[in-house]
Amino acid sequence: MQMQYPCAVREILDGLHEAGYEAYIVGGSLRDTLLGREPHDWDVTTSALPEQTLSVFRHRRTILTGIKHGTVTVLAEENGTPLPVEVTTYRIDGDYLDARHPSTVTFTPNIADDLSRRDFTVCAMAWSPYGEGDGLVDLFGGREDLDARLIRCVGEPEMRFREDALRILRAYRFAAQLSFDIDPATRAGARVCAPLLARISVERITAELSRTVTSPNAAAALTMMIEDGVLGRICTDLDQSGIPRLAALPPELALRLAALFRRTPVDRVNGVLTGLRFPGTVVRRVCAALALCDVPMDRDAPLGVRRLLRAGGQAAVTDSMTLRGAFGEDVSAYRLALARSLERGDCTDLAHLALSGGDLAELGVPRGPDIGRILGRLLDAVIEDPTQNEKEKLLTLAKTML
Ligand code: ATP
Ligand code: MG
């Protein structure tokens, strides 16, 4: 089997092998390599106990990532860039008491035990240049499922999801990322076990959901999640009509979430996303864009755009254009007007108004709310007619407002 993988990883496999231990590339890194995708992390599974791994790599930089779970991270380097490799001892998980964490972890000398605890067949293969035959250890038909583009549980789906309900979300996330289907029996298990998602921490749920939503095949995966009663368990108020629009949007979390909540009142969206602990920057961006999405488009596109810029600022206007375009509105005139307006440097906020609060105070306006009110009205006038943004003109106008 032809395997393309970093020399740094090979050195780690060599080091363990020379010290008399078994060592394999495993899990997502092997899956992605076989798919011709660049893995974002490298995992090695080994018969060496954590202390033995540490001893083999005593001359290298290592981190004890989780000695209890048997993981030692070797800080390797590939072509000058750091490449952390997680080296984990073969292990068996004990009973799962809380639908998420095994109560105990036991090391095992047998790679088959280690592979059988893993969630999906395509994530449960191992490969080593020193392995038998072509070096691939594939006990559950992972290679075949990879070719058929299928996510399938190792073992009995319902049991595996009862052990750890996070696996349910991982199944749909992988389907979204890899553009895979999910095996019917695995989906049936997910359907039955969906209520167990209540026991998973909101951070873990949101991490999986974020990755699903920003993946190339998000629409198909989310549709399956709805059909299987999974999405409703983790997220309410979502508007299904946004799902087919996802593919028309760049893979940015805020834009894609905005599409999914397009028909939900903005206050409600704010509540739902905050409850899911999405970062404040993301929540604000979603809400700011949605707030502009339903503003009727003015026939006078330059004026309409200036009004939007005043209401939400450049980023929100750009996002709202992207969203409205994805939902089939013709935004070409607005896009052009936006580009021109930015190029011209139209004043659409108080910071760029040619008159300041200080100027108004000099005119004799008492410091306090009156100043803000007048500045707001001056800005309104400038939005309607940008040629008004000159100090003398604004002073004259301000005097009529006193
Ligand atoms: P990615 O890194 O893209 O999330 P991955 O498959 O590498 O995908 P990791 O979370 O890095 O996922 O885990 C590495 C491997 O550990 C997986 O491929 C799988 O074999 C196993 N694994 C991870 N999480 C679980 C889980 N909840 N239940 C069973 N096995 C798991
Ligand atoms: Mg990984």
pLDDT digits (tens, 9 = 90+) for 201-210: 999 999 999 9
Q: Where are the alpha helices (DSSP H) in 164-239?
A: 166-178, 184-193, 202-213, 218-227, 231-234
Query: Whose CA is closest to atom 18 on ligand 1?
Result: 27
Query: Which residue is it, tokens 């799962």?
Result: 96
Q: Find the mean pLDDT for residues 95-117.
A: 88
Provide the token pair at 165: 């309900």
Q: Find the mean pLDDT for residues 375-384.
A: 97
- Cβ atoms < 10 Å from Cβ of 322: 20
pLDDT band at residue 57 using 50, 70 and 90 as cut-offs: very high
What are the angstrom distances between the C-alpha of 18 and each of 1, 12, 69, 131?
22, 10, 24, 14
Cβ of 208 below 6 Å from ligand 1: no
What are the angstrom distances between the C-alpha of 276 and each of 171, 260, 313?
20, 14, 26
pLDDT digits (tens, 9 = 90+) for 22-55: 999 999 999 999 999 999 899 999 999 999 999 9
Q: How far apart are CA 66 and CA 69, in angstroms?
A: 5
pLDDT for res 369: 92
Cβ of 93 below 6 Å from ligand 1: no
User: Which of 68, 49, 44 is CA-nearest to residue 109?
Assistant: 49
CA of 45 to the centre of ligand 2 (A): 13
**Cβ atoms of residues 200 and 209 within 8 Å:** no
Query: Whose CA is closest to atom 3 on ligand 1?
Result: 28
Beta bridge partners of residue 93, listed in sequence order: 105
Q: What is the CA radius of gyration of the chain?
A: 28
Q: Which residues contact 137 (CB under 8 A, 6 or more apart)?
A: 24, 111, 112, 115, 125, 126, 127, 128, 131
**Cβ atoms of residues 289 and 316 within 8 Å:** yes
Mean residue pLDDT of the chain comes to: 95
Kindly report whether the global pTM for this prediction surpasses the value 0.95. no
Q: Find the mean pLDDT for residues 228-233.
A: 97
Nearest-ligand number for the alpha carbon of 41: 2
pLDDT for res 68: 80
CA of 100 to the centre of ligand 1 (A): 13
Number of residues that this document lists for the chain: 402
Q: What share of the chain is helix, strand, coil (3-state, %, to 5)?
A: 55, 10, 30
Share of the chain above pLDDT 70, in %: 100
Phi first, then psi: what are they for 236, rounded to 5°? Answer: -105, 170
β-strand pairing of 42-46 with 23-26: antiparallel
Specify the ligand 1 atom closest to the Cα of 124: 20
> Residue type at 146?
L
pLDDT digits (tens, 9 = 90+) for 62-96: 998 887 888 999 999 999 999 999 999 999 988 87
pLDDT band at residue 128 using 50, 70 and 90 as cut-offs: very high
Higher pLDDT among residues 237 and 143, named by residue? 143
Quick one: 82 exposed, middle or buried, by C-beta within 10 A (0-12, 13-18, 19+)?
exposed
Cβ of 41 below 6 Å from ligand 1: yes
Q: How far apart are CA 216 and CA 180, in angstroms?
A: 11
Provide the token pair at 13: 């496999």
